[in-house]
Amino acid sequence: MQALFLDINGLLVEDGLPIAGALQLVARARQRGVPIRLVTNTATKDHATILAELRGQGFELSAAELFTAPLATRHYLIRHRLRPHALVHPAIAASFADLAVGQPNCVVLGDARDGFTYGALNRVFQLVQQGMPLIGIGRNRYFREGGQLLLDAGAFLQAIEWACRVEAVVIGKPATAFFLELVNSVGLPAGDCLMVGDDLEADVIGALAAGLAGCLVQTGKYRPPDRERLPREASLIASVADLPALLGWS
3-state SS class at 226: helix
87 and 155 inside one domain: yes
- Domain for residue 64, yes or no? no
Instruction: Give me the DSSP letters along 28-79.
Output: HHHHTT--EEEEE---SS-HHHHHHHHHHTT----GGGEEEHHHHHHHHHHH
- Domain for residue 60, yes or no? no
Give residue 60's pLDDT. Answer: 92
219 and 181 inside one domain: yes
Asked whether residue 250 carries a pLDDT value surpassing 80, the answer given is no
Give residue 145's pLDDT. Answer: 82
Q: Are 135 and 171 in contact (CB under 8 A)?
A: yes
* Tens-digit pLDDT profile for residues 190-218: 999 999 999 999 999 999 999 999 999 99
Q: Which of 110, 204, 222 is nearest to 155 (CA)?
A: 110
Last residue of a domain, one of 153, 170, 187: 170
* Tens-digit pLDDT profile for residues 46-66: 999 999 999 999 999 999 999
121 and 158 inside one domain: yes
- Domain for residue 65, yes or no? no
- Domain for residue 151, yes or no? yes
Q: What's the rounded Cα separation, in Å, for the pair 122 and 117? A: 8
Q: Quick one: DSSP state of residue 133?
A: P
Give residue 146's pLDDT. Answer: 82
204 and 234 inside one domain: yes
Asked whether residue 143 carries a pLDDT value surpassing 90, the answer given is no
- Domain for residue 76, yes or no? no
24 and 100 inside one domain: no
- Domain for residue 25, yes or no? yes
Q: Which of 151, 244, 131 is nearest to 194 (CA)?
A: 244
Provide the CATH number for the domain around residue 192: 3.40.50.1000
Number of domains the chain contains: 2
Q: Compute the mean pLDDT over every residue in the chain, rounded to the nearest whole number.
A: 94
203 and 235 inside one domain: yes
- Domain for residue 96, yes or no? yes
Asked whether residue 140 carries a pLDDT value surpassing 90, the answer given is no
Half-sphere exposure of residue 245: CA atoms within 13 angstroms, side-chain side:
8
What does the pLDDT average to over 170-183?
90
- Domain for residue 53, yes or no? no
User: Across-strand partners of 66?
Assistant: 38
Domain that holds residue 123: 82-170
Last residue of a domain, one of 170, 195, 221: 170
Last residue of a domain, one of 147, 170, 193: 170
